[in-house]
Structure 1
Amino acid sequence: MDKSQEYARRWYILAAVLLGGIMGPIDASIVYIAMPAIGGFFSADPATVGWISMSYLLVLGSFLLSFGRMGDIWGFKRLFLVGLLVFVATSALCGLAPGLGWLVFLRALQATGAGMTMAMSPAIITASFPPNERGRALGMNGMAVALGLALGPTLGGLLVDTLGWRAIFYVNIPIGMAAYFWCRQILPDVQSRQRQAFDWPGSLLAFFGLGALLLFASRGQALNWSWPILLLGLAAVVLLVWFIRLEKRIDEPMLDLKLFQNRTFSAGNGAALLNFMTQYIIVFLTPFLLQQLMGYSAGRAGATMTAFPLTVLVVAPLAGALSDKIGQRGLAFLGSLICTLAAAALSDLGQPAGPADVAWRLSLFGLGTGLFQSPNNSAVMGAVPRHRLGIAGGVLSTTRNVGMVLGIALGGAVLSARQVFHTGGLNPFLSALQDAYLVAMLLSLVATLVCLLTKTQQARQAQNGGKGA
């Protein structure tokens, strides 16, 4: 097929994918706003209500690798459409949930639908665009994620106040069905031409290994690192080592470990992991700074926090388009460096700080994140052959979700430990927050150095023999 014909509908394809993909970020941020109302309705304590999000994150992070591989075998379009239907159906059931236990269970099922669309989105976009426009398209995908995260708290507050908490799940139904019918019409049926088998043993080991790791990281502190949680951590290590050994032996592994021999793929995923850990230390801890130390209401704190995703919304597509012209490494390095400076600036905040002092630091972090993520994602997805785009997207999405959970766990652990250390000082909580921001800065600094290991891929190089999509 002529290249001009192959890519003719690329912008329509992108718009359809973004419509389907934006529901996940909206749903993730909208639920946090509704948790107090859900807890009050079911007369549940905050720790119990927290499983509404925890079940979602655990299942999402555990299944992404499997969904990526399924896309390579059975087709990106088929899996994306199934994901949309599962997400819409479970959203409706979440709104009808008769009890908290049912809601936690249905959120876990909802995560399987979100995981299918999340793993397939970068693969579909990469396959649908020529190398010289890949960064721009992935940047617009990053813009949609940021828009969803920014819209969620505002939309959630409005729905909870006017229609009740069940409405936050019903809002997915019209968006999801519109996305399904559009995607069914417009998405290309991209799948490997090679006949491949699915690695079920590897999929099960990855699911239980990643699930155990995420549960260990997220619940360890709450359970005081008691022996059951330590055993769970040991089980996670054993399962993941077993998974890697299995993948090395079989002919058609779920995760082709040869991908990690590509320096750009390995370094890009490593930098992404560290960046998301940095990001979620900041996203998790800053609301405590705003509400407990500065006395903001939840609404005012939420409005201040939007400085971060709104900046990403503007910067991500511009950085992606620029990376198509000048390459990815320099922009990713600069973005990660700015994130490092923003984390250092947050660590310097004192109690007399005002909303503008926090907002410009969050905007600076958003600038760095927008500059880093789009070029880095483009470099990672451009480093793999076409028949491995699905698993590459799954690895990238898994990296993001593991980074989120590890960042929240690390931020909470540092805050608790350093608060005890600073007992007797003028303000132990503020000092502990500053230390946690310094840890975020160090993680971001390492990510910045890792960015230098990637190889830049300019459009002309990619067209003249790069092995990307």
Structure 2
Amino acid sequence: MIKNSRYWKSIRDFLSINDSRSYALVLAALASFLTPFVGSSITIALPEMASQLSMNTFLLGWIPTAYLLVLTVLLVPLGRLSDIYGRKNIFRMGIILFTISSFLAGFSPTGEVVLVLRIIQGIGSAMIFANVNAIVVSVFPVMERGKALGIAITGAYIGLFLGPVLGGILTENLGWRSIFFFNVPLGILTVYAVSKLKEEWAEAAGEKFDIKGTLILAGCIIPLIIGLSQLPDLFGMILIMVGLIMGIIFYKFESAEPSPLFDLKLFKNRAFSFNSLATLISYTAGYPIIFLLSLYLQYALGFNPQSAGLILAVQSLFIAFFASYAGRLSDEKNPRTIAGVGMVLIALGTLFLSLITQETSIWVIVILLALIGVGFALFGTPNTNMVISSVKKEYYGVASASISTMRVMGQIMGMAMALLIMNLYIGTANIGPTNMDSFISSVKVSFILFAVMCAVALLFTWKGGSSLNLDKSD
């Protein structure tokens, strides 16, 4: 109890710092909250949006997809632009763009207008995401970065947790437009916070921005994302092949570019490359858990959507509660150890989920979700700390953007894998009593695969952490 009191006192003291660090934490927490909140809350509002704006299924599907696509394509280029022209400048432009587009989206007369404004929102989000962690790392010394990053990650998971809950409440009582309006005051607060930062960080100032590399990277990522969403169709496989070929071209081009969009020499840094791969694999394995359990709870156990949502929120709640504590631990101890323990918990929780049946107690599900939530909290902050701290200051923006890109790509890959396995077991048929056994088998196989992937991520975390040299005097 005494230790716990000391911990909360240290957090209060930490937040009471009256300088750039306080404002950096405010903007990190708010910005980290906004982007996942708007993504998850809009999903809840899609049916009402379609009804009011007479949107067809194709257009409706592109409302979340276009946002995600723009975000993924622009993260690394905007991270590089931030290193050249200033992280504070790009972040400030991003939050202003995000806030204005949110405000205008609330007045959208048609679905097409919503789509255009979602694309603009995606551009703003990319400018935000590419810089949040980089600004935190730039402001705080090495010995305090974990705690600061933990608070930022807590904001992200609170947004993820509140998105479906608050989004449902807003949509039910005030309509779908209220979700966009909800972002506006938070965006204004974030603009105020960033204006209070005293410094600008542009360690790569004067270097050339690689426009050709940006276009080639877009030609790689766009086919990959769309292709993964189309599996197992032949068209999806063709797009993936196109994306992989463009990836090879990107590698060749960037290797010869004097001022590359992404300095491939970073991958010679074992700490950066291994921990980045651990991020990618962890999100590939972890993101579909909620999707699969949502179907399982509703189809196999008979829960209604609201009850299922509250049960699934347990994971995000535990992540939000333990993330800042994990950050503090990563400042005091080897972050590799903390991240490794977290990945072990995720792997165990996922493996135990592979044993579920129609008779499994709901309390078993809740306990395993809590275990996985603690695991992600222990893994996320130290992993982010290790990736960004492994590179020179002039690459903080690119490293921060790389983490976000790995996360988004991992989410897309994980969903594609889960849907592919489900398709192999039950095809395109609706889930029901006649194919319930096949559906549960597909869920079990998915969880076994994801548990194995977590074990691989643990190996990369351990290898990457062993190559990291954190100078606490920085």
Structure 2 Cα separation of the partners of residues 53 and 354 of structure 1: 34
Change (3 A) 1:297 1:435: same
Shift of 1:283: 2.0
Shift of 1:44: 4.2
Contact 2:28 2:133 in 1 (8 A): no
Whether 1:428 aligns to 2:435 is no
Whether 1:411 aligns to 2:418 is yes
Whether 1:289 aligns to 2:306 is no
Structure 2 Cα separation of the partners of residues 455 and 186 of structure 1: 31
* Aligned residue number for residue 461 of structure 2: 451
Contact 1:419 1:431 in 2 (8 A): no
* Aligned residue number for residue 184 of structure 2: 173
Query: What amino acid is aligned across from residue 182 of structure 2 in structure 1?
Result: V
Q: Secondary structure at the match of 1:345?
A: helix
Q: Which residue, out of 181, 186, 205, partners 2:216? A: 205
Q: Secondary structure at the match of 2:200?
A: coil
Query: Aligned runs of 1:33-52 on 2, under 5 Å?
Result: 33-44=44-55, 46=57, 48-52=59-63
Structure 1 gap ranges (5+): 1-5
Q: Which residue, out of 427, 442, 457, partners 2:452? A: 442
Deviates more, 1:231-240 or 1:313-322: 231-240
* Aligned residue number for residue 22 of structure 1: 33
Structure 2 Cα separation of the partners of residues 424 and 13 of structure 1: 54
Query: What amino acid is aligned across from residue 463 of structure 1 in structure 2?
Result: K
Structure 1 Cα separation of the partners of residues 409 and 42 of structure 2: 20
Change (3 A) 1:157 1:200: same
Query: Aligned runs of 1:154-193 on 2, under 5 Å?
Result: 154-186=165-197, 188-192=199-203
Q: Which residue, out of 464, 467, 471, partners 1:462? A: 471
Contact 2:266 2:391 in 1 (8 A): yes
Whether 1:101 aligns to 2:119 is no
Query: What amino acid is aligned across from residue 189 of structure 1 in structure 2?
Result: E
Contact 2:68 2:122 in 1 (8 A): yes
Q: Which residue, out of 42, 60, 65, partners 1:54? A: 65
Whether 1:377 aligns to 2:384 is yes
Q: Which residue, out of 400, 405, 408, partners 1:401? A: 408
Contact 1:415 1:435 in 2 (8 A): no
* Aligned residue number for residue 65 of structure 1: 76
Q: Secondary structure at the match of 1:198?
A: coil
Shift of 1:186: 2.6
Contact 1:216 1:229 in 2 (8 A): yes
* Aligned residue number for residue 9 of structure 2: none
- Output the TM-score relative to the length of structure 2: 0.91
* Aligned residue number for residue 124 of structure 1: 135
Shift of 1:45: 5.4
* Aligned residue number for residue 121 of structure 2: 110
Structure 2 Cα separation of the partners of residues 208 and 187 of structure 1: 38
Residue deviations 1:262-301 (CA, integer Å, cap 9, x gap): 1010010000000001111212211101111111111111
Shift of 1:420: 5.6
Contact 1:68 1:120 in 2 (8 A): yes
Q: Which residue, out of 150, 160, 165, partners 1:149? A: 160
Contact 1:328 1:456 in 2 (8 A): no
Query: What amino acid is aligned across from residue 462 of structure 1 in structure 2?
Result: D
Query: What amino acid is aligned across from residue 420 of structure 2 in structure 1?
Result: A
Q: Secondary structure at the match of 2:88?
A: helix
Q: Secondary structure at the match of 1:22?
A: helix
Identical counterparts, % of pairs: 29
Q: Secondary structure at the match of 2:51?
A: helix
Q: How many residues were matched structurally?
A: 455
Structure 2 Cα separation of the partners of residues 349 and 296 of structure 1: 16
Residue deviations 1:70-113 (CA, integer Å, cap 9, x gap): 10000000000000011112112222222223322321221110
Contact 1:281 1:437 in 2 (8 A): no
* Aligned residue number for residue 323 of structure 1: 330
Change (3 A) 1:426 1:310: closer
Shift of 1:456: 4.9
Structure 2 Cα separation of the partners of residues 124 and 91 of structure 1: 24
Deviates more, 1:43-52 or 1:112-121: 43-52
Structure 2 gap ranges (5+): 1-16
Shift of 1:122: 0.7
Structure 1 Cα separation of the partners of residues 269 and 171 of structure 2: 47
Whether 1:137 aligns to 2:144 is no
Structure 2 Cα separation of the partners of residues 35 and 295 of structure 1: 23
Shift of 1:51: 1.7
Aligned residues: CA RMSD: 2.2
Whether 1:76 aligns to 2:87 is yes
Change (3 A) 1:265 1:125: same
Structure 1 Cα separation of the partners of residues 300 and 19 of structure 2: 54
